[in-house]
Structure 1
Amino acid sequence: MKDLGYRWGSCGKGNRVYFHWKTILLPRHIAEYVVVHELVHLHEPHHTPAFWCRLERAMLDYEQRKGWLARHGIEVEGV
């Protein structure tokens, strides 16, 4: 956990996954999306069609969660 600025999560060198500390303030199902999104980056580093396909296999409703985060994420303590 760290302050990642405008990002909710990051997958870095050495397969390290980081999350913005404000992720704990998100509704549980949205925080789960952030976690799964970053874990998929361990296999697919970029937002290619293969990335989104793998994410969908892991989380069928990811688009709804992603949409919620895009619409309401800014409301979570100013992220």
Structure 2
Amino acid sequence: MGVEPAGVTVQDLGYRWGSCGKGNRVYFHWKTILLPRNIAEYMVVHELVHLHEPHHTPAFWRRFEHAMPDYEQRKSWLARHGIEVEGI
């Protein structure tokens, strides 16, 4: 993807699965490891795209689709089933 995060932190992010913070650090909720692999991959790519595009603009989604053409299916799965993952 042509980016390198300055660091990766795994912690309890409350209601969020991931975040991209100051200084190009990416954060993931510790429960991400409980997700199916393809959904965890969606989370990683999502945060890496934020290193290029900080907001969910059309440019963000175009870049995301270029990196992961089936992202909408994964996003939909997470929206439907994410709450089932150990109560997040």
Normalising by the smaller structure, the TM-score range is over 0.9
Match of 1:53 among 41, 49, 62: 62
1:40 and 1:4 mapped to 2: Cα distance?
19
1:2 and 1:39 mapped to 2: Cα distance?
17
Counterpart residue number, 2:15: 6
Moved over 3 A (4+): none
- TM-score, normalising length: structure 1: 0.99
- The alignment yields a C-alpha RMSD, in angstroms, of 0.2
Instruction: List per-residue Cα deviations over 1:35-70 (Å, max 9, x = no partner).
Output: 000000000000000000000000000000000000
Extract unaligned runs of 5+ from structure 2. 1-9
In the alignment, structure 1 residue 38 sits paired with structure 2 residue 65: no
Counterpart residue number, 2:7: none
In the alignment, structure 1 residue 16 sits paired with structure 2 residue 21: no
1:78 Cα deviation from its structure 2 partner = 0.6
Q: Which one-letter code corresponds to 2:47 in the other structure?
A: E
- State the identity as a percent: 87
- TM-score, normalising length: structure 2: 0.89
1:8 and 1:35 mapped to 2: Cα distance?
10
Higher relative strand content = 2
Extract unaligned runs of 5+ from structure 1. none
